Amino acid sequence: MASIGKAKRIRIYVKEGEKVGAKPAHLAILELLRLENAQGATVLRGIEGFGATGELHASHLVDVAHQLPLVIEWIDRAEAVDALLPRVKALVPHGLMTVDETEIALYEPHPVRELPPALSASDVMSRQLATAAKDTPVREVVELMLGKTYRAVPVVDEGIPVGIITNTDLIRRGGLDVRLDLLDSLEQPEVHSLLERLASGGKVAADVMTAGPVTVDATASLPRVAEIMTHRRLKRLPVVDGHGVLVGIVSRLDLLRTAAGGFERGEPEVRKIGFSGNTPLTRIMRRDVPSVHRDTALAGVIQAVVSTRLNRALVVDAGGHPLGIVTDAELLDRLTPSLRPGALRSLMNRLPFTHPTAEERETEQHARARTAQDLMVPRVATAPESASLSEAIAAMLRGSEKVLAVTDASGRVVGIVDRADLLHGLVQHRTEA
């Protein structure tokens, strides 16, 4: 069972007869959500109802049988909702739309949807992406990335990508002091101050972008996309059409979801995709597992988190069994505000956590979150070391974590993998085959 916590629920109320062009409105909305890899949506047909006009629509009235109320319910991550909601609104000719916070207690999905007969980059890419022009201020670029699924912004000139701006570009050349994934853990005044400093620097997208970005053609096969990502160590790739115009972006997660769907459907689907998932997990897992015990103090937790590129550490008991996980973002979020500046310096520069002032030392003594147990999220996605690559991918996708702890027969942690490791496993096995 997978529990993924907070999400947003959108309800859209329309009538059966409403159209978007020649297409029923509810179908147009569903197609958009499916195309943009939304987690799922359901259309519910009402038996009676009335709207602002006061006109009653009921199934027992023959003359209005095709004007019954419809409710489209869509539940997804907050960042996905924020990105897609403006486009969904544009497809609602008349009706009502509500947005509520909700808590997901159980989510057991099939990792991906049905696969088309021939798979290419265009079949799995996202078409909803933010872009910038070369003269877009860096502050606006950062604002485009905040809360988004894709932490990269292609820079385009007449639709053709001439550069790309990633987290690393913003830190190295843009003057950003904090990684984007850590910004959400800061207080709003801190974020505002950071954005103001960026604005005062006067830099634009052309000053910080990586020019000549690696792109992939929309017709490229998924194994080819995976090879490029793995060999170039990229998390995502802009997708272009035959004229070089940007049409979407594809990520490692898109590829893993698609591969998992093929594995679930059996050998014919696996051959169709071009991947194979029979590789033993032990062949690709990392054995240098960053881990701490539940009573490890803050300084030791930070040291473990920054010790690898994973930016997180497992919390284990005395026998090595997983108890939880500490991510850099969760760590900042749970820390007393006065301790965050020192912790942030350590996380960004991968340095030991120290207290430059006596006041900070005193604060830590009285802080509520002082040990790994206080800072961890008490759930860890796991897979046995006997698992295959396909089983490991399915296990990771069932949860919301970006890493998977590998355990032995007694449940002790013996390894760890992340998305990059899993994608590398797919590519490596295909090459060896």
Q: Average pLDDT for residues 384-398, to the nearest whole number?
A: 86
The whole-angstrom separation of Cα 161 and Cα 213 is: 7
Average pLDDT score, the chain: 81
Q: Give the pLDDT score at 117.
A: 45
pLDDT at 136 over 80: yes
Give the residue, 276 or 39, on which the prediction is more confident. 39
* pLDDT, position 351: 77
Predicted pLDDT at 139: 92
Q: Which domains does the chain have, with CATH numbers?
A: 5-104 (3.30.70.120), 121-272 (3.10.580.10), 282-432 (3.10.580.10)
Q: Tell me the pairing of strands 312-316 and 322-327.
A: antiparallel
Partners of residue 123 on adjacent β-strands = none
- Expressed in angstroms, the distance from the first to the final Cα of the chain is 34
Dihedral sign, CA of 67, 19, 76, 102?
negative
**Concatenated DSSP letters of 373-432:** HHH-BS---EEETT-BHHHHHHHHHHSS-SEEEEE-TTS-EEEEEEHHHHHHHHHHHHHH
Please state, in angstroms and rounded to a whole number, the distance separating the CA atoms of residues 362 and 118: 62
Mean pLDDT (whole number) for 121-150: 86
Cβ atoms 97, 55 nearer than 8 A? no
pLDDT for the residue 131: 92
Angle formed by the axes of helices 78-89 and 25-35, nearest 10°: 140
Q: Which of 105-119, 164-178, 235-249, 314-328 has the lowest mean pLDDT?
A: 105-119
Provide the percentage of residues in the chain whose pLDDT is more than 70. Answer: 81
- pLDDT over 90, % of the chain: 31
Report the range out of 42-46, 149-153, 234-238, 265-269 with the highest average pLDDT.
Answer: 234-238
- The average pLDDT across 144-168 equals 87
Residue 414 vs residue 368, higher pLDDT: 414
DSSP, res 339: G
Please state whether beta strands 382-384 and 403-407 pair in parallel, antiparallel, or not at all (unpaired): parallel
Rounded CA-CA distance 429/417 in Å is 16
The number of helix segments (H) and strand segments (E) in the chain equals: 18, 20
* pLDDT per residue as tens digits for the range 272-299: 555 656 778 998 899 999 999 999 988 8
Question: Given pLDDT bands bounded at 50, 70 and 90, which one contains residue 368?
Answer: low
Instruction: Give the pLDDT score at 63.
Output: 46
